[in-house]
Structure 1
Amino acid sequence: MEKNVENVTSTISSYIPENIVEILGGYAFSLIMALVIFLVGKWLARKITNLLVTVLRKVKGMDETLIKFLENIVYYILMIVVILTALSELGVETTSFLAILGAAGLAIGLALKDSLGNFASGVMIILFKPFKVGDVVNAAGVTGSVSEVGIFNSVFITPDNQKIIIPNGAITSGSITNINAHTTRRVDLVVGIGYDDDIKKAKEVLNDIVSSNEKVLVDRGITVAVSELADSSVNFVVRAWVNTPDYWDVKFGLTESVKLRFDEENISIPYPQQDLHLHKND
């Protein structure tokens, strides 16, 4: 029995290196150093990220959403560097990890190609500000008030109160019309009268209609001029400047006033006679 125990002990001892203490001491030192590298690196990563955020917030016009996104990206990149450095201290071969990360990054990039495009467009919108929250914009075939500008998409509220979410890539890929970017807008109307009507009288009436509208900015000038001798009418172009919030009220108001005043003044507004005949034949 004692001999068997001695044989087992001898067998086990043969597998244990004579310098086991030194080896364990070396591993313990590497483990402690890796832990120190991780903790210090994490602290530095947070400090560097906070410094970046402080600098970005001092940049005029920098959007908070973009700042938060950049903060996360920078922090995670720094943490990857810290983790790889700590693993390297433990003797782990990090080359394979870098290859795996590169392959994974390529695969993710291909899979999220459209999302990355929307992100890039979102950054452009936030930095160059073709519009901001509250603006009325026509973009990607949608007209509405901007309620949110995000990194990947923007939210529009249409005049009939529909919520439409538009990918930023679709917005920047076409033209963008910021309808109320300026404080004033010009109302344009085309008004036709019959060839038998008095042009001078019609012009005076149109001038009176426009100038008597209290929301029209008369000091910016009013234009009433014959623009076209059409097939069945003499067309006037009517132009007046208004404050942007008053645009539709003035446009609708002037249109109604023209019809009412023309009826009072016996000035005719021609309509397509051909269409009328077609309807009668039907």
Structure 2
Amino acid sequence: MILLFKPFKVGDVINAQGHIGSVKEIQIFNTILKTPDNKTIILPNGGLSTGSMVNFSTEDKRRVDWTIGVGYGDDLDKARAVIQKLCDADERILTETPVVIAVAELADSSVNFTVRAWVKAPDYWGVFFDMNENVYKTFPNEGLNIPFPQMDVHVHKEG
């Protein structure tokens, strides 16, 4: 079935049967994957033909999603503007679809923005990692806090 319907080809990156890797070889009974850390995974084609699979290589564009938290009390409009500025500065982020920056959650320790941007598929991980680092380096300089889980303890003295 794999050889007939060709849901993937050599070079595609797939997630199947709990493994993610680049397809190195498609044989009659097995498909050989190489994982990002250079392991060889041998997947039986029977399971591949009857199970679900994600092929990350079929589309030329992918959406990168981030959750970026700011501290309660921080200026949300400023945070949104800083995130937009960082996205605008990365030429790998495609401009035909606007970047989405929305307050998604009032969490325990942070106000969380969901940020979504479209990139060419090969740029996905570079953009993802670079944005995380840029947010970490830029927020403190802009007076924005990157919160972490914390707990306030109140001690009351009786009498």
TM-score by length of 1: 0.53
Gaps of 5+ in 2: 154-159
Q: Deviations over 1:152-209 (max 9, x none)?
A: 0000011011111111122223210001210010100000111110000000000010
The correspondence for 2:84, drawn from 204, 207, 222, is: 207
Give the structure with the higher percent strand.
Answer: 2
Distance 1:130 1:221 in 2: 31
Give the structure with the higher percent helix.
Answer: 1
State yes or no: 1:240 paired with 2:121: no
State yes or no: 1:140 paired with 2:17: yes
- Cα distance, 1:273 vs. partner? 1.1
- Cα distance, 1:218 vs. partner? 1.6
Give the match for residue 65 of structure 2: 188
Larger radius of gyration: 1
| 4+ runs deviating over 6 angstroms | none
Distance 2:144 2:40 in 1: 44
Give the match for residue 49 of structure 2: 172
- Residue aligned with 1:220, SS: coil
Percent identity reads: 51
Compare relative contact order (CA 8 Å, sep 6+) and give the higher one, 1 or 2.
2
TM-score by length of 2: 0.92
Q: Deviations over 1:32-79 (max 9, x none)?
A: xxxxxxxxxxxxxxxxxxxxxxxxxxxxxxxxxxxxxxxxxxxxxxxx
Conserved? CA contact 2:108–2:149, under 8 Å: no
State yes or no: 1:250 paired with 2:127: yes
Q: How does 1:77-116 map to 2 (within 5 A)?
A: none
- Name the amino acid aligned to 1:174: G
Q: Deviations over 1:11-49 (max 9, x none)?
A: xxxxxxxxxxxxxxxxxxxxxxxxxxxxxxxxxxxxxxx
Q: Deviations over 1:93-132 (max 9, x none)?
A: xxxxxxxxxxxxxxxxxxxxxxxxxxxxxxx111111111
